[in-house]
Amino acid sequence: MIGRVHKAVFPAAGLGTRFLPATKAQPKEMLPLVDKPLIQYGVEEAVSSGIQTIIIVTGRGKSSIEDHFDVSFELEQLLESKKKTEMLSMVRLISDMIDVAYVRQKEALGLGHAVLRSKELVGAEPFAVVLSDDIIASQTPCLRQLLDVYEFYGTSVLALMEVPGDQISAYGVVDAELVLNGSDNRLFRIRNMVEKPRPRDAPSNLAIIGRYILTPQIFESIEAVEPGSGGEIQLTDGLKHMLRERPIYGLKFEGKRYDAGDKLGFLKATVEFALERPDLGRAFREYLNDLCKQ
């Protein structure tokens, strides 16, 4: 029988060097996209995909993430006394949304190492991994799309996206075979994967994006791999190790992904999300139109 996925791990202990100086004393995951921190988008995606528990892997200087998902008594009291009921319910919703557990990664030793830190809290269950700087706008939440594949095949599933050749070396890239399952040519069985290949060595244009459903055997696989460059333990190496024993699928998800951990990607997401907002969209569009005429 296939185990159900109840938990999602959010690695949030990286240094965020691409976003310095903003991330010198502030976690990248707390950067606001319009008015919500990046990590809240990921948590909302997990909740609407049916996840019940969130495990956040944090590091030094990340306490604002814990505060964000905690109850803020002073703020709630103030809003209550000023009869700001809408704001009050919005603030309460964040702490009521889901159960959150935290585990520390003392040193940023790589994504694989961060995922391994959640081993005790995850236990022997399949689980999701969400990298919250990958923001995905879609009709069906991306994690839900992966869970649907997992619930059918009962094995690990990665989110895949086509990436132009000149950008491929920033990603983990898969060598994969299309699964003809009557769907719309989005499902692949993975043969191999390469972390950050040179464009001419890339086995395809399909890159791994920050959403995963993993079976618990991944922990043994991560433990078995040697640290790579910079002493970092890569999740891709753990996945490659697991692939020797178990099938892994990849789904070219439906939706648009923004790399909000990168300055340009963050700006694009900010503009597009603001334009979609009922309370801001029209005024912001007018402003942009005026700006273009100048």
Residue whose C-alpha is closest to residue 193's, from 258, 107, 112: 112
In the bound state with ligand UTP, the residue whose beta carbon lies nearer, of 108 and 173, is 108
In the bound state with ligand UTP, the residue whose beta carbon lies nearer, of 79 and 161, is 161
Chain-centroid distance of CA 162 in Å reads 17
Apex 243 CA angle, 239 and 246, nearest 5: 120
- Beta pairing partners, 161: 207
**Measured from the CB of residue 161, what is the shortest distance to ligand UTP in angstroms?**
15
**Measured from the CB of residue 286, what is the shortest distance to ligand UTP in angstroms?**
34
The token pair at 39 is 């990590």
Q: Is residue 33 within 8 Å of residue 270, measured between CB atoms?
A: yes
In the bound state with ligand UTP, the residue whose beta carbon lies nearer, of 157 and 209, is 209
Tokens 């997992």, located at residue = 150
Q: How far apart are CA 244 and CA 192, in angstroms?
A: 9
Residue whose C-alpha is closest to residue 250's, from 220, 195, 207: 207
**Measured from the CB of residue 27, what is the shortest distance to ligand UTP in angstroms?**
8
In the bound state with ligand UTP, the residue whose beta carbon lies nearer, of 28 and 68, is 28
Q: How far apart are CA 250 and CA 195, in angstroms?
A: 15
**Measured from the CB of residue 28, what is the shortest distance to ligand UTP in angstroms?**
6
Distances (CA, A) of 218 to 62, 96, 135: 26, 31, 24
Q: Is residue 29 within 8 Å of residue 38, measured between CB atoms?
A: yes
In the bound state with ligand UTP, the residue whose beta carbon lies nearer, of 28 and 187, is 28
Q: Which residue is nearest to ligand UTP (CB)?
A: 14
Q: How far apart are CA 60 and CA 118, in angstroms?
A: 16
In the bound state with ligand UTP, the residue whose beta carbon lies nearer, of 39 and 187, is 39
**Measured from the CB of residue 41, what is the shortest distance to ligand UTP in angstroms?**
13
In the bound state with ligand UTP, the residue whose beta carbon lies nearer, of 153 and 210, is 210
**Measured from the CB of residue 264, what is the shortest distance to ligand UTP in angstroms?**
13
**Measured from the CB of residue 180, what is the shortest distance to ligand UTP in angstroms?**
33
Cβ burial 125-147 (10 Å sphere, 16+ → b, else e): ebbbbbbbbbbbbeeebbbbbbb
Residues making contact with ligand UTP (CB under 6 A): 11-19, 28, 57, 105, 108-111, 113-114, 131-133, 261
